[in-house]
Amino acid sequence: MKDEYLKLNEFMEQSGKTVAVTGAGISYLYGMRRLKQSVGMLNSRRVFSKSYISKNPEEFYAVMWDAFLYATFVKGPSTVHKQLVELERRGQIFGIVTQNMDCLHTVAGSKNVAEFQGSFADNICINCQSRSYDYNVWNQGHMPRCEKCGAPIMPTSFYTESNIRDAVLRTAMQKAIDMIAEADLAIIIGTTGFRSEEYMSRIRPNARIVQINPSETKFDAAADLNIRANAADVLDAVMNHTEEG
Ligand SMILES: [Zn+2]
């Protein structure tokens, strides 16, 4: 095994509590290229608004499908998502902090996930503001509707017309901060660090940071170890090594 992989393995063995931090990189690998185009469209058309959705519910659903749902329900979890499930099962990581809203960690089977930007599992009715929690409502081929009043629902983290959204996002970020504050080791995978100041500032001074990313990011300076490689290959090597050992 390469020296830097051995180093990561050593850090993981020495760590009592390891957290993984993930971003769009692990989903892009697996068919989220559409997201980039969609985000441009979302911003230009202001589709995440009550007025747009009430007039154009099925168009909104089509945008959601391209941006998130296709990756989640058609492509499914990537190799890295699955490896993280296995690492949690083995007790080698205790949780995942992610900027992704695509629910793919949960779909893959990870249990302890902090989605600090929210996700489309948490929804709100644009009419009566009833909340519901199930990502599967988005996998029925049409716009999901409120069980109480029949109006369209939307992800709460996009619902800018109410301060409910702020509370949801505050709680979500706090969960990420609490996880980071507990960790002896943070393994950063496929994220360039969107809003990372808010959670990484809470990492303990003696905790270690390892980054696995083919390109440079803002984590480079803070990391004890930067591994410039494909995350699936690195985790595969480390996990097989642990199994043999
Ligand atoms: Zn309703």
**For position 180, what pLDDT does the model report?**
98
Q: How far is the CA of 30 from the centre of ligand 1 (A)?
A: 34
Contact call for residues 143 and 152 (beta carbons, < 8 A): yes
pLDDT at 168 over 70: yes
State the distance from the centre of ligand 1 to the C-alpha of 119, rounded, in angstroms: 19
Position 31 pLDDT exceeds 60: no
Tens digit of each residue's pLDDT (9 = 90 or more) over 192-202? 888 899 999 99
Task: Please report the pLDDT score of residue 25 as a whole number.
Answer: 81
pLDDT tier for residue 148 given thresholds of 50, 70 and 90: very high
CA 145 to ligand 1 centroid distance, Å:
8
Compute, in angstroms, the gap from residue 121 CA to the centroid of ligand 1: 16
CA 175 to centroid of ligand 1, rounded, Å: 28
**DSSP symbols for 106-137:** HHHT-SSEEETT--TTEEEETTT--EEE-GGG
* pLDDT for the residue 2: 87
Distance (Å, whole) CA 196 – CA 192: 9
Q: What CATH number should be reported for the domain holding residue 36? A: 3.40.50.1220
Q: Which of 38-52, 157-171, 195-209 has the lowest mean pLDDT?
A: 38-52
Residues in the chain: 245
127 CA distance to ligand 1 middle (Å):
5
Q: Determine the distance separating the centroid of ligand 1 and the alpha carbon of 140, expressed in angstroms.
A: 18
Residues 6+ apart with CB under 8 A from 84: 20, 22, 93, 96, 105, 108, 110, 235
- C-alpha span between 84 and 95 (Å, rounded): 9
Residue with more model confidence, 54 or 192: 54
State the DSSP code for 139. Answer: G
Report how far ligand 1's centroid is from the alpha carbon of 171 (Å): 23
* The predicted structure's pLDDT at residue 166: 94
Average pLDDT over residues 92-121: 96
Q: How many domains does the chain have?
A: 1
Domain boundaries, position 63: 3-244
| d(CA 49, ligand 1 centre) in Å | 16
Read off the pLDDT of each residue in 2-25 and give the average, rounded to a whole number: 94
| Ligand 1 centre distance from Cα of residue 153 (Å) | 7
